[in-house]
Structure 1
Amino acid sequence: MMKKHAIVLAALIGAASAQAQVYGTVAGGATHLGMDCTGATSCDTSGTGVKLVGGYEFGNGFSLEAGYIGFGKFRAADGTVGLTVKPTAITLGGAFALPLGSDWGVNVRLGVAQVKTKASATVGALSGSDSESKAKVYAGVGVTYAISKTVKFELGVDSTQAEFAGEKGTLRLISLGATFAF
């Protein structure tokens, strides 16, 4: 009886590992920070960001992903004080790939992000900076197009939240990237 269980277990592990696949994604695009600019004479809440992801697909569309997102820089000023905010995130979560035909698909991501928000302020010749890190919910969705069995292009949107000194703002990256399966 024990041999039968061992054989069944070995077959299940073999089938799961035959479907398993390691992949990496590199993407870049436009970012936005939903921050309150009340009282600012200038406010730039858009930037350029980058996303790097490593994933492990278990089969049936389910994956575990870890990644880094650099959301770029955002600036605001009121004439005497200049503020620069630079958020980054380390992400960990699950992903599900839903095929929409032979080449097209949709990826949905949900997980947690450790968001580090660095703020730098300048008043005349004086300047200083500080940062805060908070765990936040991370979500994303992307449309994929496979150009081969190992390369897919993805147009995606990723979102989480930045927080600094009690102020919160939604972070968004709209990116175009490529995923490479190994």
Structure 2
Amino acid sequence: MKKYVSLAAALALATLSTNAFAGQAFVRGELGSSETEVSFDGFRGSESDTAAILGGGYWFTPNIGVEGHVGSLYNKSVGYDEELDLVSIGAGLVVKKNFGADNTGFFIGARAGIARMTAQVREDTWDVVDDESSTKPYYGVNVGYDFSRRWGLSLNYDRRQGDFSGVDVDVDTYSLGGEFRF
């Protein structure tokens, strides 16, 4: 994992220019659907649920930045007043290319980084009964429209994976996102 973090830091520093420090901080909210597939000992199953992700970061240039996120990918009742949650926390690099004047208009983008996915069983009182985490790379792509240099909307696809004691979990998330830059 250290080599991924080192690589991300090196890429971010390599992209800095003299105008890099005139960048923009941003916050982003995404709401959509996650398709969660579970594989264990030859068994495969999948289920969809609502995903909600909150993120933020910094655009060093109009095209390259760093981001962090936290979000709920899956939440289901498992009975006995307990729920199963899949939560993601991650950090990575973001890139985008605007096709309009002054970094506005339609854009395409991509992101990649490291995410820690945690599967936890908790009681309705928010007490965690059991949890396990897995740290793996994540990636995603998006298309959208920046209405101004301050805000825009996007359609996003992200892929996250986890391995919990031999249980492989793949989560594909499709979401609508809004980003505010300041």
Q: TM-score range by the shorter chain?
A: 0.7 to 0.9
What is the SS of the residue equivalent to 2:114? Answer: strand
Instruction: Tell me: CA distance 1:32–1:129, structure 2 relative to 1, closer, same or farther (3 Å).
Output: farther
Contact residue 136 and residue 161 of structure 1 kept, 8 A: yes
User: What residue in structure 2 maps to residue 33 of structure 1?
Assistant: 36
Q: Look up the equivalent residue of 1:86 and give its one-letter code.
A: D
Q: If you compute each CA radius of gyration, which structure gives the higher value, 1 or 2?
A: 1
Contact residue 44 and residue 76 of structure 1 kept, 8 A: no
| Match runs of 1:15-164 below 5 Å | 15-18=19-22, 20-36=23-39, 45-74=47-76, 85-102=84-101, 103-119=105-121, 129-164=129-164
TM-score by length of 1: 0.75
Instruction: Tell me: CA distance 1:114–1:165, structure 2 relative to 1, closer, same or farther (3 Å).
Output: same
Unmatched segments (≥5 aa) in structure 2 = 1-15, 123-127
Q: Look up the equivalent residue of 1:108 and give its one-letter code.
A: A
Deviations 1:102-124 (A, max 9, x none): 4000110000001111247xxxx
Aligned length: 159
Contact residue 151 and residue 181 of structure 2 kept, 8 A: yes
Q: Look up the equivalent residue of 1:17 and give its one-letter code.
A: F
User: What residue in structure 1 maps to residue 3 of structure 2?
Assistant: none
Identity of aligned residues (%): 25
Instruction: Tell me: CA distance 1:178–1:52, structure 2 relative to 1, closer, same or farther (3 Å).
Output: same
CA RMSD of aligned residues (A): 3.1
Deviates more, 1:99-108 or 1:46-55: 99-108
Q: What is the Cα deviation at residue 30 of structure 1?
A: 0.6
Q: What is the Cα deviation at residue 163 of structure 1?
A: 2.6
Deviations 1:58-117 (A, max 9, x none): 11511010111210225789xxx9x96421111100011122344000110000001111
Contact residue 38 and residue 46 of structure 2 kept, 8 A: no
